[in-house]
Amino acid sequence: MEMNFCRRCGAILSLENGHVYRCESGHTIFANASPASCLWLLNDKNELLVVVRALNPGKGMLDAPGGFNDGAETFETSVARELEEEVGLKPTDYTRPQYLLSDLDAYDYKDETIDVLCCVYHARLIGNPPIKAQDDVAEARFIAIADIDPSMIYFDSVREGFLKLKSHIDHDSH
């Protein structure tokens, strides 16, 4: 991400080093990655809840429910909010999310690429609550893990989380 003006005083910024910018007033501004989180949710048949992206980037491709953290939100709070917004599930509908991995993604948005730090979790569905695609989700459904084509998962971090979870499940079933 390139920044041109200081958010503190409006002066022109100069790239000092990597992701560090400085203005003529001496303010230092950091272009850090934007945090996001997602959750791979398993049902009692070991199928994963997969969503189809309704919007770009990656419109029509597969994803796990999730999205950007809002304000000073933790990854866990963000994933709970996103699951409710995107598929109507509350934290009481699934077990406590377990960490899989974190990774960086490039998010193309309106002629700019944003660096995103994504934290990927997994959990198990409790019972059979209704799931409804909403917000920026075109479709939500459970799919057998073996039937998911990893190349159809849009974000690298989400794909890596899927592959790690699949490896754990494959290992545990042997």
The overall average pLDDT reported for the chain is: 94
How much is the average pLDDT of 1-18? 87
Q: Which two tokens stand for residue 174?
A: 């042997």
What number is the average pLDDT over the span 14-36? 90
- pLDDT confidence tier of residue 17, bands split at 50, 70 and 90: confident
Please state the rounded mean pLDDT for residues 51-62: 97
Greater confidence (133 vs 3) lies with 133
Return the pLDDT at 173.
66
Whether the per-residue pLDDT at 174 is higher than 70: the answer is: no
Residue intervals of the chain classified under CATH 3.90.79.10 are 34-172
Q: 40: pLDDT confidence band, cut at 50, 70 and 90? A: very high
Return the CATH number of 34-172, one of 3.40.50.2020, 3.40.50.2300, 3.30.450.70, 3.90.79.10.
Answer: 3.90.79.10
Kindly report the pTM of this predicted structure. 0.88
Sign of CA dihedral 65, 71, 77, 81: negative
- Tens digit of each residue's pLDDT (9 = 90 or more) over 90-128: 999 999 999 999 999 999 988 888 899 999 999 999 999
Q: Region of 46 please: left (phi>0), alpha (psi -120 to 50) or beta.
A: left
E-assigned strand segments in the chain: 13-17, 20-23, 28-30, 34-42, 47-53, 62-63, 66-68, 98-109, 112-124, 137-144
| Interval 78-99: pLDDT, tens | 999 999 999 999 999 999 999 9
- Report yes or no: 48 and 42 within 8 Å, Cβ to Cβ: yes
State the sign of the Cα–Cα–Cα–Cα dihedral 110, 40, 128, 81: negative
